[in-house]
Every structure is written in structure tokens, then in C-alpha cells.
Amino acid sequence: MKSFVSVDSVENINALVDDALEIKKNPHVHSCLGKQKSLCLIFLNPSLRTRLSSQKAAFNLGLDAAVLDVGSQGWQLEFTDGVVMDGDKAEHIKEAAAVIGSYFDVVAIRAFAKLEDRDQDYSEQILTAFQKYCPVPVVNMESSTAHPLQALADVITIEEHKKKAKPKVVLSWAPHPKALPQAVANSFSRWMQVVDYDLTITHPEGYELAEGVVGQAQVEYDQQKAFEGADFIYAKNWSSYADYGKVLSRDLNWMITADKMKLTNQAKFMHCLPVRRNVVVEGRVLDSDSSLIIPEAANRVTSMQAVLKNILEGLN
């Protein structure tokens, strides 16, 4: 693997997942792979799991890691070509990415959607600029439209807990007080289909994901009907793609409840976290035996480690 920016970066997902499951059994077996190599973790947005799991993955690989919070520790970056830089932005991505890429062997970047301009967000301006100007492999730690490290952790988690070869997986929209990006839902939908699970997406009207994201998934506007026979319920809020970035509904009837979980085939509950208790999902679902949220989050170390291992092997 050269870079890891979306599901399209992965030649063979099954092989990557198998590798991840092996890594999880013995996380320190590749502790010399990162020797004399270094990783830069760049955050344009807050992070808890991604920040910590990425550092832990680096520790496990013996890889030196430096963290940069661009906004608070550095300065604002300019992403537009040809501009006269007489405003607030002190440095162009052309220079910043090239310099960082001259220091480190791998660069990982987190940069959320701004939810103001769909075309701009879906052009993946920041991630694309890093790929273009940074001469070393780039890892997507959640971009405007994708969160493939989360989706890989989700696949690992489902592989560990599924009871049939092709489980029914339901991606359910859920209410949230704020407007959130579509990145997690996008990547989840795409990865579920590439690994060939039986995917249903359920959400209120107006919350349709982009066409290329939905692919062959079933779309069901009746949440309860969608839950029938489900093996995994994956809850996530996102803002509207059609009416871009808008919150069209905060309807608590879409909250995942213990009662709705009873409609399923004893489904496991998943969420990428952070999760709003009693808004997105009832606390008692999170606290029940059916919840996989903690092992799912723990698999973020495994997914990052599998990706970094793959990239490091390509460097040597």
C-alpha cells in the first residue's frame, strides 16, 4: 500500500483484515518494523480515539511519532492555488506538506468537512493537497468525506463477532444536536459492500447519502422494518447531503432503543464514538451485553497498526 486514503487504496481488503486479526493476537511482533522510521500525526480538528490509537499503533511498531495540532500549535494553512496570501493564512499547503514530507516517512492527517460547500468538501481539497505535495505515504485519519480507519476497525469487529458468513448489517441514522459530516457513514457503507455484507441503510427522507456511496445497499425509510433480522445495528448521525450540511431532523423517534433492538436477530450494537447517550442511543443499549462499542474502539489500534505495517513494508 502506498497511501491509505479510502477503500480504493486497498487492493485486497480480506488480506488486510486477516493481517489485522493476526496483529491483534500479538501486537508487538512487528516492534522492529518502525525502527529509524517516523510518523507525523497532523490534526486540523479535535480527536480522542484517533489521536491515542494512532500513537499506540506507532508504539507497537517501534515507530517514532510526532503530533501537530495545526490550529493551536502552528497556524492556518492556505489551500487555494494562485492566491495572494495577504490575509490570515500564514503558509500554503504546497510548502507545509512538502516540508513535513521531507521530515517524516509517513504523514497522517485529520481534516473534517466544513459543511459549507458540498463541492469543496467532496473534492477532498485538504487530503488531496497533502497527497499531491507530500512526497511520502499519506494516511487519512478522517477527511471531509471518508473515515477508512474507522471502517476497517468496523470490519474487524464484525468479523470477530459475526455468526454467519454474510450478516445483515444496518446503518441507521440517529438524531444529534449538531450538524455532523457524512464521512463515517460514507466509509461504512462503502466498506460493508466491498467485504460483501448484506447492508441496509435507514434514515429519514432527505438524509440520502451520495449515490456512489449507497451503491447496491438497500435503503429503507422505515427504521423498524430495517431492523428486522439484523445481525449488527450501526448507529450514526449525519447531516443532509442533498440540502448540504443542514440538520433536517432531530426527531428522537429515530433514537436507537432497547425496544427497537428486540426487533433484530439479537443484533450487536455498534457506534464509532463519541456517542451522545439518550440522544443517538439509549444508555441501556450502550450498557447492555449487545454493545460492541468498546471492542470496536479498541480495534482502532489494530486498524491503524495494520495500515502502518502495510505502508512500512512498502517503504523498505
Chain residues in the site for its own copies (CB under 8 A): 28, 31, 36, 38, 40, 43, 46-49, 51-53, 55-56, 59, 64, 66, 68-70, 72-75, 78, 81-87, 90-92, 94-96, 98-100, 102-104, 177, 273-279, 283, 286-287, 293-295, 297-298, 301
Cβ closest to its own copies, residue 40 vs residue 138:
40
Q: Which is nearer to its own copies, 193 or 302 (CB)?
A: 302
Please answer whether residues 182 and 207 qualify as being in contact, where contact means their C-beta atoms are separated by less than 8 angstroms: no
Smallest separation (angstroms) from its own copies to the CB of 167: 24
| Alpha helices (runs of H) in the chain, residue ranges in sequence order | 13-25, 49-60, 70-73, 93-103, 118-122, 125-133, 148-161, 183-194, 211-214, 223-227, 258-261, 283-286, 293-315
CB 182 within 8 A of CB 122: no
Give the nearest distance from C-beta 75 to its own copies in angstroms: 6
* Residue type for position 271: H
Return the number of the residue (283 or 314) whose C-beta is nearest its own copies. Answer: 283
CB of residue 201 to its own copies, shortest distance in Å: 24
CA distances to 42, 107, 149, 191, 204 from 142, rounded to whole Å, are 11, 13, 8, 15, 25
DSSP state of 4: B
Contact in structure between 290 and 140 (CB atoms under 8 Å): no
CB of 240 to its own copies, least distance (A): 19
Complex with its own copies: residue 167 or 175, whichever CB lies closer: 175
Cβ-based nearer residue to its own copies, 73 or 216: 73
Largest CA distance in the chain: 59
Q: How far is CA 267 from the centre of its chain?
A: 22
Helix (H, G, I), strand (E, B) or coil at 65: strand
Q: Give the nearest distance from C-beta 294 to its own copies in angstroms.
A: 5
Q: Among residues 15 and 83, whose Cβ is nearest to its own copies?
A: 83
Please report how close the Cβ of residue 283 comes to its own copies at its closest, in angstroms: 6
